[in-house]
A = this chain, B = another copy of it.
């Protein structure tokens, strides 16, 4: 009643999304099955399906095995040959890229060590544009249109403008990332594609919900394990964004009065106790230089800390166990407030899981007020450092289906021929 369409075109765009979602849910399926499921009449469905086929989003896959009177129905499925959605993450010490097709299968994954902290926002954006050019030229994406590019950033994002309001660990501040990246991509003569900027933890949560080993857990919290600690919160399957898009910022919950100094200028924040920097300082103290870490070498230090813990080194093990306890205290605040069914530790916390998880669980159960922490599980992610990029790519597919991204234009016959031959290679 409150969502009256504004005109014929809006109705049609909306209905294209409805049919696309129906094909995703029901494929392989006939036009009649879509009409039955959506309540749209058969003529409308036929016209919408023809439109989706011409845009390369739906395809016919041979004759129906459904029993029906009259002309045998042709079955429909999503067309996984023509488009791609790209998710990119920039973090303190790496860029990650994942490209997926319309059925959300991975076409390409890249992990690129990169000292984004030292590079600064401008050089970093140039590097992102370069990486986009490389990705778009990759044979894995040949012949595909890019429906959109998502960029995950560890910080507070003003989503409508695509501006990074504050990313303390990158040392970015009011960085107009979307506009800059769009301009650089234009200058590089890359195919035009809308750019959306979002928080890394939010997109990590989306990835966990869609593709992680706890997929479809409707109340789920994803905690990033990077230099910064953030969380993405799914409540009833929906991302909790809050009134200004800043929800999930657990990294600066104060846990220890007079504790270690934090990048935010305060003391005793979760991030100052259990972020990757303080963990490495405690776990491999001989290898960590004084002063703030540069992005370079973090992955290597994490690997050494894990290696030593595996070899039984007490310093490394104690450091990881202590950090796990702080993570449990931080998780307890989230559990008391949003009562999730699962907390997933991501990023570098994944390889550290064997030592972090037991103390994290114990502290959570001790501190959360609900009996048994309200039934909350704590697990390591199965997606590792590509979670946010993957979540971003998948979020683009969602945005397409719900009308927040434009549908691709109708394709020429040559395009379609190209897609067919590239799919049959």
Contacts and interface: CB of A to CB of B under 8 A. Distances in A.
A213 to B, nearest CB: 17
A241 B337 CA distance: 9
Interface stretch (A90-98, A123-131, A246-254): A246-254
Contacts of A218: 243
A371 B166 contact: yes
Interface string A144-172: 00000000000010000000011000000
A236 B248 CA distance: 15
A17 interface: no
A241 to B, nearest CB: 7
Interface residues of A, number: 52
Interface in A220-273: 231, 233, 235-236, 238, 240-254, 256-257, 264, 266
Among A37, A247, A252, A256, chain B packs the most CB atoms within 10 A around the CB of A247
Given A165-B371, A166-B371, A369-B252, A242 B339 contact: yes
A386 to B, nearest CB: 25
Contacts of A240: 235, 240, 338
A367 B255 CA distance: 12
A360 to B, nearest CB: 16
Interface of A: 1, 21-22, 25, 37-38, 156, 165-166, 218-219, 231, 233, 235-236, 238, 240-254, 256-257, 264, 266, 329, 332-334, 336-341, 367, 369-371, 374-376
22 contacts: A1-B22, A1-B37, A1-B38, A156-B370, A156-B371, A165-B371, A242-B338, A242-B340, A243-B374, A243-B376, A246-B374, A248-B337, A249-B336, A249-B337, A249-B339, A249-B369, A252-B336, A252-B369, A253-B332, A253-B336, A253-B337, A264-B369
